[in-house]
């Protein structure tokens, strides 16, 4: 059933490639496809009372190499599928005004979504990598063709970073394949193979960094802000909302389950680091604080949000490194929450503000007093930014709460550092909000003919805010899937006494 999320998306691509599809029809096809994907996910979601891994389909694909077409979903995949479905719908709604090569735009868009669904469902690692690569290509074109500021540069940078990342992953996985005797790379089977400790010690960081690049792991994050800024609105929403989650998902699903002992202590200390866990936790913390500080000084509204993504993804990675149930749960929740909220923030900045005022310069916006002309955008931005800095009642709070609880026992000083990051987060969102919407500077108030906020934009906003609010008020909906998934045998090697 859930496999249909992938098929529906690619069927949508095919439908769009038919001749004689008008732009209007293209939009509707894209919307229907996205809704179909979400409906399928919701169907699967409602059927599941716990989050253990259930196979959807398993057929041999390249038997000689032991590669199978094997899709399966557990609670963590379900949460991310749900995220993808919601952001995909919102993305279509926020690109309703695309007039230039509409058909191709939505075709690439749906291909990207299909690839993402594929990654979240694949349990055979080679299949996972195939989908992972499928997702890279449309990203490139979406930015290079429909993008804005320095789009070719950004698209190229993004593609190169992604390919380097997947190359690292590939090296690690092939090595693992060989070491394990070359029979299968199925995640059901392979984590039980006792990879030698010294092998895990170098394979783990390789694969973790490979995926971490896409998750915005500092210092490999630089593709993210430029990519987000150059991309058209829907693509930024997907990039920040979903594609960065691919990386984090890979870190958790592949690197950490396949090479759990790579996180063990080295047995010696270098510069105060005793294990890869210490190293990556520090990188995550640097990401949180550094991303926030850089966001604080940006002049381009979209760069503020771009760097805030780096900061928020730092919480995901920090949560992963806590290696405790509550921290990992928080990390998964943060993936969901950040996906929704970053999508919303990019929609406000890219669609509601930039498409109307044609500027993202905070100094220019400061003179426009936008809240008088597009109060809906101002209100949305306030809600979204408050939610993303962790206002209780929205999804961001429950997520960061759990990450921080986990961090207190694993890395107490980092918990304090992350708190510092939250405070800077308040400062940069507040600065951006005040400059962009309730500016004080004298100047020509925007030409008073800004087009009003359209219906699709309003619907998209409500969908995203609603999702964040529901999860914020009743996180149990996701927790009841995520926690059993983390307690399933798949993660047994990660569970230590401090779990």
Partner 1 sequence: MNAFPFISLLTAVPLIGALGTLSFGARNKNFARNLAFSSSIVALALTLVLCYRFDSGSGELQFQELHSWIPAIGVEYHLGVDGLGLVMLLLSAIVVPMSIAASWQVKEGPQLYFSLILFLQAGLFGTFTALNFVHWFFFWELSLIPAFFLIRLWGGPQRATAATQFFVYTMVGSVALLLAFLAIFQCTNSFDFISLGELARNGQLIPALASKLGWHRLAAEIIALIIFCGVFLGFAVKVPLIPFHTWLPPAYAEAQSGTTMLLTGTMSKMGVYGFLRILLPIFCVEMRSVLTHLLWLAVATIVLSAFAALAQNDLKRILAYSSINHLGYCMLGIFAAARFTGDSAALATDKVAALDGVILQMFNHGLTAATLFWFVSLLEKRSGGLRGLNDFGGLRKVIPVFCGLMGIALFSSLGLPGLNGFIGEFLIFRGVFPLATWTAALAVIGLLVTAIFILTILQRVFSGPLNERWSTMPDLSIGERLALLPPIAIMFVLGLYPQLVLGVINSTVVKMVQQVRY
Instruction: Name the one range near partner 1 by CB under 8 A: 9-17, 271-279, 388-396, 487-495.
Output: 388-396
Interaction of residue 426 with partner 1, rule CB under 8 A: yes
Closer to partner 1 by Cβ: residue 11 or 391: 391
Give the closest residue to 347 by CA, choosing from 439, 235, 471, 437: 235
Q: Out of 405, 450, 469, 470, name the contact with partner 1 by CB under 8 A.
A: 405
Q: Does 391 bind partner 1 (CB under 8 A)?
A: yes
Residue 282 binds partner 1 (CB under 8 A): no
162 by Cβ neighbours in 10 Å (0-12 / 13-18 / 19+) ranks as buried
Tokens of 378: 């101002």
Torsion over CA: 80, 425, 225, 452 (sign)? positive
In the numeric block, the tokens 């379900």 are attached to 78
The two three-digit tokens of residue 411, written as one number: 């890395």
Which residues, 6 or more positions from 117, have their beta carbon under 8 angstroms from its beta carbon? Answer: 5, 6, 9, 37, 81, 84
Please tell me the distance from the alpha carbon of residue 269 to that of residue 47, in angstroms, as a whole number.
48
Instruction: Pick from 413, 442, 448, 497 the residue near partner 1 by CB under 8 A.
Output: 413
> Is 422 a residue that touches partner 1 (CB under 8 A)?
yes
Q: Indicate which single residue of 22, 409, 445, 492 sits in contact with partner 1 (rule: CB under 8 A).
A: 409
Please check whether residue 125 is in contact with residue 71, taking contact to mean a CB–CB distance below 8 angstroms: no
Is the distance from CB of 437 to CB of 450 less than 8 angstroms? no
With CB under 8 A as the contact rule, the residue among 194, 392, 443, 466 that binds partner 1 is 392
Q: Which of 418, 420, 398 lies closest to 408 in space, CA to CA?
A: 418
- Report the C-alpha gap between 460 and 199 in whole angstroms: 47
401 binds partner 1 (CB under 8 A): yes
**Choice between 239 and 386, CB closer to partner 1:** 386
User: Which range touches partner 1 (CB under 8 A), out of 64-72, 173-181, 347-355, 403-411?
Assistant: 403-411
Considering the rule CB under 8 A, would residue 194 count as an interface residue with partner 1? no
- Output the smallest distance, CB 441 to partner 1, in A: 11
User: Is 436 a binder of partner 1 (CB under 8 A)?
Assistant: no
When asked if residue 479 is in the footprint of partner 1 (CB under 8 A), the reply is yes
Q: Any bridge partners for residue 55, and if so which?
A: 72
User: What CA–CA distances, in Å, run from 412 to 175, 389, 496?
Assistant: 36, 21, 18
Residue 58 or 431: which CB sits closer to partner 1? Answer: 431
Tell me which stretch binds partner 1 (CB under 8 A): 195-203, 246-254, 386-394, 443-451. 386-394
| Closest alpha carbon to 437 in 387, 382, 355 | 382
Binding of residue 470 to partner 1 (CB under 8 A): no
Site string for partner 1, 322-361 (x = CB under 8 A): ----x--x--------------------------------
The answer to whether 225 and 306 are in contact (CB under 8 A) is: yes
Q: How far apart are CA 453 and CA 348, in angstroms?
A: 10
- Binding-site size, partner 1 (CB under 8 A): 33
Would you say 21 or 427 has its CB closer to partner 1?
427
Binding site for partner 1 (CB under 8 A): 326, 329, 382, 386, 391-393, 397-398, 401-402, 404-406, 408-409, 412-413, 415-416, 419, 422-423, 426-427, 430, 434, 438, 440, 475-476, 479, 483
């Amino acid at each position: 059933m859930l496999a249909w999320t992938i098929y529906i998306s690619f069927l949508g691509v095919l439908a769009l490639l038919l001749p004689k599809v008008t732009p209007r029809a293209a939009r509707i096809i894209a919307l229907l496809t996205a809704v179909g994907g979400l409906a399928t996910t919701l169907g699967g979601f409602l059927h599941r009372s716990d989050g253990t891994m259930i196979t959807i389909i398993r057929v041999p694909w390249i038997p000689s190499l032991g590669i199978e077409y094997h899709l399966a979903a557990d609670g963590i995949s379900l949460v991310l599928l749900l995220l993808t479905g919601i952001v995909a719908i919102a993305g279509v709604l926020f690109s309703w005004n695309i007039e230039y090569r509409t058909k191709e735009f939505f075709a690439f868009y749906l291909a990207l979504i299909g690839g993402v669904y594929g990654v979240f469902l694949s349990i055979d690692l080679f299949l996972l990598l195939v989908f992972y690569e499928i997702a890279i290509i449309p990203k490139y074109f979406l930015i290079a063709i429909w993008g804005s500021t320095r789009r070719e540069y950004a698209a190229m940078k993004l593609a190169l970073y992604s390919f380097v990342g997947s190359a690292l992953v590939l090296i690690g996985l092939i090595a693992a394949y060989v070491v394990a005797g070359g029979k299968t790379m199925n995640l059901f089977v392979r984590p039980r193979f006792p990879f030698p400790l010294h092998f895990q010690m170098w394979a783990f960081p390789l694969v973790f960094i490979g995926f971490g690049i896409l998750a915005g792991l500092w210092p490999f994050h630089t593709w993210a802000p430029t990519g987000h800024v150059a991309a058209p609105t829907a693509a930024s929403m997907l990039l920040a909302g979903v594609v960065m989650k691919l990386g984090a998902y890979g870190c958790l699903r592949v690197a950490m389950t396949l090479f759990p002992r790579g996180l063990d202590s080295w047995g010696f200390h270098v510069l105060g680091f005793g294990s890869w866990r210490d190293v990556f936790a520090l990188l995550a913390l640097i990401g949180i604080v550094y991303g926030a500080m850089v966001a604080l000084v940006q002049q381009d509204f979209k760069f503020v949000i771009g760097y805030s993504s780096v900061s928020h993804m730092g919480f995901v990675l920090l949560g992963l490194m806590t290696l405790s149930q509550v921290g990992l749960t928080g990390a998964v929740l943060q993936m969901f929450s950040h996906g929704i909220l970053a999508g919303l923030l990019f929609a406000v900045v890219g669609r509601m503000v930039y498409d109307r005022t044609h500027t993202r310069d905070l100094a220019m916006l400061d003179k426009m007093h936008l809240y008088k002309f597009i109060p809906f955008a101002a209100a949305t931005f306030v809600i979204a930014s408050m939610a993303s800095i962790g206002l209780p009642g929205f999804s961001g709070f429950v997520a960061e709460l759990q990450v921080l609880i986990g961090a207190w026992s694993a890395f107490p000083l980092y918990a304090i550092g992350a708190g510092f990051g939250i405070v800077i987060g308040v400062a940069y969102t507040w600065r951006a909000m005040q400059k962009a919407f309730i500016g004080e500077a004298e100047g020509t108030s925007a030409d008073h003919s800004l087009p009003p906020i359209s219906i699709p934009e309003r619907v998209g906003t409500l969908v995203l805010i609603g999702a964040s609010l529901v999860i914020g008020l009743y996180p149990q909906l996701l927790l009841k899937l995520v926690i059993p998934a983390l307690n399933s045998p798949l993660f047994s090697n990660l569970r230590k006494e401090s779990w």
